[in-house]
Amino acid sequence: MSSTAPREPMVVAEQVHKSFGSNHVLRGISLEVSRGEVMCLVGPSGSGKSTFLRCINHLEKINSGRISVDGTLIGYRENNGKLYELSAREAAAQRAGIGMVFQRFNLFPHMTALQNVTTGMVRVQGINQSDAEIEAKKILERVGLSEKLGHYPAHLSGGQQQRVAIARSLAMRPKLMLFDEPTSALDPELVGEVLDVMKELASTGMTMIVVTHEMGFAREVADSLIFMDGGVVVESGKPIDVLNNPQEARTKSFLSKVL
Amino acid sequence: MQSTNHPPIKAVPLRHPFRWAVALFLVLSAAAFIVDAAHRSAYDWKSFRKYIFDTRVLQAAGVTLALTALAMTFAITLGISLAVMRRSPNPVFRSVSWLFIWIFRGTPVYVQLVFWGLLSTIYHSFFVGIPDIHFNNFYLGFHQAISQNFSLFWIAVIGLSLNEAAYMAEIVRAGLLSVDAGQEEAATSIGMSWWATMRYVVIPQAMRIIIPPTGNEIVSMLKTTSLVTAVPLVTDLYARTRDISAETYNPIPLLLVASAWYLAFTTILMVIQYYIEKRFARGQATLMAAAS
Ligand SMILES: Nc1ncnc2c1ncn2[C@@H]1O[C@H](COP(=O)(O)OP(=O)(O)OP(=O)(O)O)[C@@H](O)[C@H]1O
Ligand SMILES: [Mg+2]
């Protein structure tokens, strides 16, 4: 982990391939996300957006290519040109530094909002319970939920649950946050409160990759936008350019459906 | 909230005369039976009172409880291991687990107990080699009841646990499967190890599914211990009351004594189960609403 030069990107993916059996889902994805950049990933259903995010987090193993985050190869260690698979413990340590927010929140239903946030600090980082609680309260306040510390997920609205989920990830002090359609499962009137939290996060310089159908958010907040289809990057660039002036036929037809 | 402006409905409630008639009939029949039984000499309530707190009966009840507690402890531990093995990517573990469950669920527990009893005579030295346990004086009678039949007691525990483990494995497996895959994913994504994920995220949620049938299994085990006579172990509640009644020539009061103790224990277990289930229902919207 050499201290990296400020110009080095946070995420580098090179020719990433991933298959599930005979289903070749990712067919050579290459991209770079710089530090503090917010990248939106859009594309039709089944194009491999979720799979790509899960590969960055090593929840899925890639078949070929390489992904590195903050200058460190994900899932493997390279020694004299040879790759060695990381141990479960090392892989877990890598994941702890990469936050992930899911479409369906996946909060722990048997824990209160506060416990959802402290559990990673206590069980993974080994912080003691009372320090973790102090820190967790700050983070929950940041996402506007200081009133809901003792509530179980079942008693929170979808928007509140998703904000707890974001807080749970932030508690691990990640250097990168991955969002997989964070607002798709929400009632329309609750989308705004989650996007506001994400905007605030972006403004503090967090590096974020966001799979979303919220083109307004992409336009307003994202630094770059990638259009994926069939497991490849079809088009990429500044959100305004891609959204207002798409070059590829596939991008045009997709955007005409969602805009 | 709306009571001042909108008066509550005043209506004559629907009557249920048939329900009342049936209930009355049942209550009267039960009362008649109890009054009759209280006076009938065959029940011999005097002997019942004499033996219900008899030292030998109390010790036997202790043996039955010890058999249940030990057998269930081993069965739950082994059952969890078998359930986890069934999930393992290693095909050897999966096959061993499957084979174990196939054999122990597929043959009667009585037959298994006879078999372990016979096996112990074949491999005598092994079972004699199991060390004794020290009990303090307060439990001396109980201690003797166990230690005189020491190897038989442990053979019974082993026989009961192995059989029960097969059932527990299936219960635990269903519980683990009931937890949404997103839970494991979320825990993994914050850097939890596989074991921490199981321990703090998956198993606590699986508990809600595992506990009710496990409660049934404990109650069922309490009664299955009456089969240990197949080993043959004769210090448990049922065998002991049967032996006493062989001296008194009147089996009915002692059957009632045994039944009363079994019933008392299962009642206590039901109460404990109620509180445990409430505890593991934490975070369940529907259950919490129902409770409040
Ligand atoms: N664990 C898995 N096992 C087998 N196939 C999978 C698995 N996960 C994803 N796939 C397949 O990979 C393809 C891409 O799925 P993915 O979820 O990445 O798409 P997506 O772009 O996120 O779509 P959506 O917008 O619907 O979320 C699909 O054909 C899907 O069936
Ligand atoms: Mg997806």
As given in the structure block, the two tokens for residue B206 are 């699986």
Residue B269: its pLDDT value, please? Answer: 93
**ipTM value:** 0.92
pTM of the model: 0.80
Residue whose C-alpha is closest to residue B80's, from B198, B220, B205: B198
CB B219 within 8 A of CB B211: no
pLDDT band for B287, please (50, 70, 90 cuts): very low
Residues in chain B closer than 8 A to A89 (CB atoms): 193
Instruction: Write a three-state SS string for chain B.
Output: CCCCCCCCCCCCCCCCHHHHHHHHHHHHHHHHHHHHHHHCHHHCHHHHHHHHCCHHHHHHHHHHHHHHHHHHHHHHHHHHHHHHHHHCCCHHHHHHHHHHHHHHHHCCHHHHHHHHHHHHHHCHHHHHCCCCCCCCHHHHHHHHHHHCCHHHHHHHHHHHHHHHHHHHHHHHHHHHHHCCHHHHHHHHHCCCCHHHHHHHHHHHHHHHHHHHHHHHHHHHHHHHHHHHHHCCCCCCHHHHHHHHHHHHCCHHHHHHHHHHHHHHHHHHHHHHHHHHHHHHCCCCHHHHHHHC
Residue B140: its pLDDT value, please? Answer: 56
As given in the structure block, the two tokens for residue B57 are 């009966």
Backbone phi and psi for residue A101, each to the nearest 5 degrees, phi listed first: -120, 130
**Where do runs of H (alpha helix) occur along A44-144?**
49-56, 88-96, 113-123, 129-142
How distant is the Cα of B197 from the closest Cα of chain A, in angstroms? Answer: 10
**Pocket lining: A45 vs ligand 1, CB cutoff 6 Å:** yes
What CATH fold (topology level) applies to the domain B45-128+142-291? MetI-like fold (1.10.3720)
Burial (CB count <10 Å: 0-12, 13-18, 19+), residue B63: buried
Q: Residue A111 and residue B193: Cβ atoms within 8 Å?
A: no
Residue whose C-alpha is closest to residue B219's, from B272, B282, B148: B272
CA B63 – CA B146 distance, rounded (Å): 7
pLDDT band for B291, please (50, 70, 90 cuts): very low
| Position B137 pLDDT exceeds 90 | no
pLDDT tens digits, B141-173: 555 555 556 678 999 999 999 999 999 999 999
CA B174 to chain centroid, in Å, comes to 19
How distant is the Cα of A10 from the closest Cα of chain B, in angstroms? Answer: 18
- Which of A49, A55, A233, A234 to mutate for ligand 1's pocket (most ligand atoms within 8 Å of CB)? A49
As given in the structure block, the two tokens for residue B207 are 């508990």
Burial (CB count <10 Å: 0-12, 13-18, 19+), residue B260: middle
**Pocket lining: A46 vs ligand 1, CB cutoff 6 Å:** yes
Average pLDDT score, chain B = 85
Is residue B232 reached through a cis peptide bond, with omega within 30 degrees of 0 on the bond before it?
yes
Question: Of B193, B205, B280, which has the smallest distance from its Cβ to A92's Cβ?
Answer: B193
As given in the structure block, the two tokens for residue B115 are 């078999």
CA A103 – CA A3 distance, rounded (Å): 34
Q: Return per-residue pLDDT of chain A as tens, 259 residues.
A: 444 445 679 999 999 999 999 999 999 999 999 999 999 999 999 999 999 999 999 999 999 999 999 999 999 999 988 999 999 899 999 999 999 999 999 999 999 999 999 999 999 999 999 999 999 999 999 999 999 999 999 999 999 999 999 999 999 999 999 999 999 999 999 999 999 999 999 999 999 999 999 999 999 999 999 999 999 999 999 999 999 999 999 999 999 988 7
Domain ranges (residues) in chain B: 45-128+142-291
